[in-house]
Copies of this chain bind each other. A is one copy, B any other.
Amino acid sequence: MADVDVPPGYEPREYPPFAVTVDLVVLTVQDDRLVVLLVERGERPLGLALPGGFVRPDEDLVDAARRELREEAGLSAPGHLEQLGTYGAPARDPRMRVVTVAYLVLAPDLPAPVAGTDARAARWVPVDSFGQGQRDTVPPLAFDHDEIVRDGVERARSKLEYTPLGAAFCPREFTVAELRRVYETVWGRTLDPRNFHRKVTGTAGFLTPTGRTTTRDGGRPAQLYRVGSLVTLYPPMLRQGA
């Protein structure tokens, strides 16, 4: 209740200074698995962590996220970027007081390796490894990044229910089946191909037909689509039910 409690308007430096960072939960679908981008830290605390870094003095938070995405993940045009949440427990970073604003990025599977201009090694890691249970393959992440990854995955799962954001995981042009496999991977369940097709093609604004077709998935040629103008899906597509 001391001087930190007086109303704002005095000398800036009277208020406790914090470091502010952005961290990125970059998700994509690779080989029918939902994976998150992690980087190997060169400093203490060592280990794997989310890509991210300090916000600059005159930089907006979302701009910092976009910059880190470019610098650390080599991504300049993600499918989708949104704020996920802010994590600021006093001891979350052992070195100093850091408040981090986490951003969620949904990206298509990239043909080019995500090396980034940054020297740090980047890895895609399946998110199954972050459940409460088995942590066979991946050691715990640095800081509170395990929690942030879990929150990001849950956000992605629920966003697919009521937005057309599944397409953010797809290339610019994609088939209904490719989109369906994204949903199946993210939700960890199978969906009826016929009903899924009807749902997404029958909802006005979800998909924009290109008129072209492809046979890259085998079988009968499939229509190619781009994302439509729809923002929220009503009624939503629910992940449970079967």
Binding site for B on A (CB under 8 A): 4-5, 7-9, 12, 15-20, 41-44, 53-61, 71, 83, 85-86, 88-90, 93, 95-97, 99, 101, 120, 234-236, 238, 240
Complex Cα gap A43–B60 (Å)? 25
Residues of B close to A55: CB separation below 8 A: 16, 18, 88, 99
User: Binding site of A, secondary structure by majority: helix, strand, loop or mixed?
Assistant: loop
Copy total for this chain: 2
Residues of B close to A44: CB separation below 8 A: 9
Q: Which residue of B lies closest to A8 (CB)?
A: B43
Whether B5 lies near A53 (C-beta < 8 A) is yes
Whether A88 lies near B16 (C-beta < 8 A) is no
Q: Which 4 residue pairs spanning A and B have beta carbons closest together?
A: A17-B17, A9-B43, A12-B96, A61-B88
Which of B4, B83, B238 is within 8 Å of A235, CB to CB? B238
Closest CB in chain B relative to A6 CB, distance in Å:
9
Complex Cα gap A83–B88 (Å)? 12
Whether B56 lies near A4 (C-beta < 8 A) is yes
Whether A19 lies near B9 (C-beta < 8 A) is no
Residue of A42, A55, A83 most packed against chain B (CB within 10 A)? A55
Complex Cα gap A88–B60 (Å)? 6
Residues of B close to A96: CB separation below 8 A: 12
Closest CB in chain B relative to A5 CB, distance in Å:
7
